[in-house]
Amino acid sequence: MSDIAIRSIKSWVKKWGVGKRKRLGTEVEERVKLRVQELYVEYDLQDSEILLHILRKEGFDVSKWTPLRLKDDLGLERKPSRPNKKLPHELLTER
């Protein structure tokens, strides 16, 4: 088996358009932070997968790590969930 140089791999990755996902712009990130905070506080929503689903449904282009990173940035800690707290149906359903 032949050795493939790192340089070759880097050029292929560049050619294929594969790379790190760009972070959100500052203005968009602030809007997403506010929305994450609102969902966390108002609806006691801690599940990052549901946050991700809602953010994407609302038109934000976010990675699966964005809700986790933003919750950490905002200092939103896990707290005991309140099972009686219900999410509005329209937040989870497709448009």
Q: What is the pLDDT along the chain (95 residues), one digit of tens a residue?
A: 568 898 988 888 888 877 666 666 677 788 888 888 888 888 877 788 888 888 889 888 888 888 888 888 888 776 555 555 566 666 766 55
Cα separation, 49 vs 55, whole angstroms: 10
Q: How buried is residue 31: exposed, middle or buried, by Cβ count under 10 Å (0-12/13-18/19+)?
A: middle
CB 53 within 8 A of CB 93: no
What is the per-residue pLDDT for 21? Answer: 62
Cα separation, 62 vs 24, whole angstroms: 8
Nearest partner of 35 among 1, 6, 62, judged by Cα: 62
**How many CA within 13 A on the CB side of residue 41?**
9
Decide: pTM greater than 0.85: no
CB 74 within 8 A of CB 37: yes
